[in-house]
Amino acid sequence: MSSPQTPFGALAELKVVDLARVLGGPYCTQILADHGATVIKVEPPQGDEVRDWGPPFHEGDASYFVGLNRNKRSIGLDLSKPEGQAVFLRLLEDADVLIDNYKTGTLEKWGIGYKDTLAEKFPRLIHCRVSGYGEDGPLGGFPGYDAIIQAMAGWFSINGGTDREPTRVGIAAVDMGTGLYSCVAILMALFERAKSGQGQFIDMTLYDCAVSLMHPHISNYYLSGGQVPGITGNQHSNIAPYDKFPTKTAAVFIGAGNNRAYARLCNELGRPELADDPRFENNSVRVANRAELRKELLPAFAAVDGEELSLKLLAAGIPAGPVLDTGQVMNAPHTKHRQMVAKLDWYEGAGTPIKFSRTPGELRSTPPLFGAQADEILAEHGYDTDEIAALAASGGLVRERRKL
């Protein structure tokens, strides 16, 4: 297994200084790290707070942290101190990317903001900031959290069960979506820098990303003349049948997105006459009559085994799948076949979904303990033993997490 410093992968030799904590930023930098980037995780004196978001824990670090920080090295710096800032600036001397999610204005207050300092010192640096709402506008500067943004960006209003109670999406999809968008933005900026030779600032917000992901509801809103989309439960707002059905065993989810798939579904369920029923002959009338269609299909599903039916439908070209829990997913044969279970020493997690033919991503190192690689990182950047000791004595280098 190669070391974290060994150039390997599509992003080998890319250096990232990561000031981000919690989810969106760390998810972004983990993607970069999985594909060869050297990622130095610079943690504040209190550490990344998600180290405490458990149980469960491994050696004091919560699963929330463990799942987002593999293939990185950690150093603790107090950036409010001149000594910590000096180390930070040295780390940036040969860095390609800086990512942070400090409250807007924090780095500027410390004299290490992009516009006033970093752009001039490091003209090739790409600085990506992830914030809740940006630094200006009616909500500028306010803190942003996944569920709050979900509520404010309309996600609650279209998500929920048959009780029609607006509900949070069960994964931190705003944070993770912002991490993905940020990764794309960084790669775009690197592509542009290869031509211009110049870095730039990337302004990423949870709010913007959450709004952009509200598809097809925003398009539906505008094209319907302002009709506000509502909760459809497991059903799709634009397609029918697209729903979950109970069977003798596992529930299954069916997505028949066109007339051909719908006709095949009717045949496989032993109800071929439903394909020619005027109430269901095309998607538009199926959407209008979705309750009647569901009533017609329910008895056919109730009589069969869900997993067997799903495989049968898939073989017939009909999108279908059983409703599985996390344990079933991670033990599923196809999950293992696709190498979506990553293991190294004590660590187990989801593998990388990005599959390259020549430069695959890999799991090189387990998530770091707080400051575990501080001496190694400092030595690589020209600090000797006495200088490292002096940094620790000054408080600029943080050896142990400080309690809030």
* Contact of 378 with 368, CB cutoff 8 Å: no
In 3D space, the residue among 44, 172, 180 whose CA is nearest the CA of residue 102 turns out to be: 44
Strand partners, 344: 347
State how far the alpha carbon of 299 is from the alpha carbons of 114, 225, 251, 288, in Å: 62, 38, 13, 21
Helix, strand, coil fractions of the chain, as percent rounded to 5: 40, 15, 45
* Cα 369 off chain centre by: 22
Number of Cβ within 10 Å of residue 279's Cβ equals: 12
Closest listed residue to residue 301, CA positions, set 276, 255, 266, 256:
266
Catalytic residues: 175
User: What region, left, alpha or beta, does residue 13 occupy, with left being phi > 0 and alpha being psi -120 to 50 degrees?
Assistant: left
CB within 8 Å of 186: residues ≥ 6 apart: 28, 32, 97, 99, 126, 128, 202
Chain-centre distance for alpha carbon 121: 31
**88-to-19, 31, 39, 76, 312 alpha-carbon distances in Å:** 10, 22, 14, 10, 57
Please list, in sequence order, all residues whose beta carbon lies within 8 angstroms of the beta carbon of residue 109, skipping any fewer than 6 positions away. Answer: none
Amino acid at 7: P
